Structure 1
């Protein structure tokens, strides 16, 4: 049971620790210390829900539904492209900086943005539901539960570590120029992800 839980923890951690749209958003929110707890909680619970669905067998249904993946892919490309443009606009307007940091989103806007980053990313379904779900077939009963719990714990540790650990970078981001660099990087990452999703959508038609 411990071995199964560790396997889930290791695999879940390896999948989530990567530069992506969701992680970039949480990092930025952590730097400005805006709604960090609720956003990290949303990400962690969302991953736990998707992991549970995958371990429970939903991965097979998702894998056999190319139309669903295509719809999510297109919506994700549009959303990420829009956010990329917003990031570049922030970087181009130093007047938007207040005391060396950007003005935070309201709670509703932050929550909706976080949910969009989570559920409009087809890779989230492929990683958590399909991949983690299919690999859970190697375990039975309580071992499968432990495997899913390990993967969910890895997600929780990562998001809260990223969100609250970002504040240690605050001295570096005391200068507006640093925020401009971060927003340019975020804009590039989001833009490349959007382009990748768009090409995937066009290739799948």
Structure 2
């Protein structure tokens, strides 16, 4: 039991830590909204989406996806397009926290819709949950598998909540939005780099298959 809990915590934390569009969006919404409670829609939505993906992966969806190469190829191809597009979107955004520009100050409905897209259409989310968490859970059974899944889910909820709080603190300090602008540029570069890497991996698997 303890092994499953520690494994789930370390694995989930390691996977969710890298900079990506999902993390940046949660952080940005925490930073630009005047009150933390206004950013709760994006935090809750991102957490629920991760909960869904992790649950499906642990229940065995990962086995199905990895078994059929064409399905994996379709998902990753869609993910590549998504990363390239979102990279351009985030690169163009120039946050100015003090002016509360409407292009980054999302309403609750927009927060939910955008959070769902960056969570469920993100190849990082698919690869992390289906390819890593799902396959890692195969070594456990019964209560140990449940404990492993629950810990992974809890890490997501705690991480996104902490990210929103950190964004709110930075938003109070960085009134010009310069930090957020730099963060967006770095995130865009990471997304494009990831898209290229996934593309080369997919191409090599197709060539050698």
TM-score by length of 1: 0.84
Equivalent positions of 1:29-178 (< 5 A) are: 29-33=29-33, 35-91=38-94, 97=96, 99-103=98-102, 104-178=105-179
1:127 deviates by 1.7
Aligned partner of 2:20 in structure 1 is: 20
1:100 deviates by 4.6
Deviations 1:48-105 (A, max 9, x none): 22222222222110111222222222222222222222233223xxxx7463543312
- Tell me if 1:5 matches 2:8: no
1:112 deviates by 2.1
Residues 75 and 143 (structure 1), Cα distance of their counterparts in 2 relative to 1, 3 Å cut: same
1:162 deviates by 0.8
What CA RMSD, in Å, does the superposition of the two structures yield over aligned residues? 2.4
Residues 152 and 191 (structure 1), Cα distance of their counterparts in 2 relative to 1, 3 Å cut: same
Q: Which runs of 5+ in 2 are unaligned?
A: none
Q: Which runs of 5+ in 1 are unaligned?
A: none
Quick one: distance in 2 between partners of 1:193 and 1:78? 11
1:201 deviates by 4.5
Alpha-carbon contact 2:32-2:97 (below 8 Å) kept: no
Quick one: distance in 2 between partners of 1:201 and 1:4? 31
1:198 deviates by 3.9
| Greater displacement, 179-188 / 56-65 | 179-188
Paired residues in the alignment total 201
Alpha-carbon contact 1:9-1:152 (below 8 Å) kept: no
Quick one: distance in 1 between partners of 2:189 and 2:118? 16
Residues 140 and 37 (structure 1), Cα distance of their counterparts in 2 relative to 1, 3 Å cut: same
Residues 203 and 30 (structure 1), Cα distance of their counterparts in 2 relative to 1, 3 Å cut: farther
Alpha-carbon contact 2:53-2:129 (below 8 Å) kept: yes
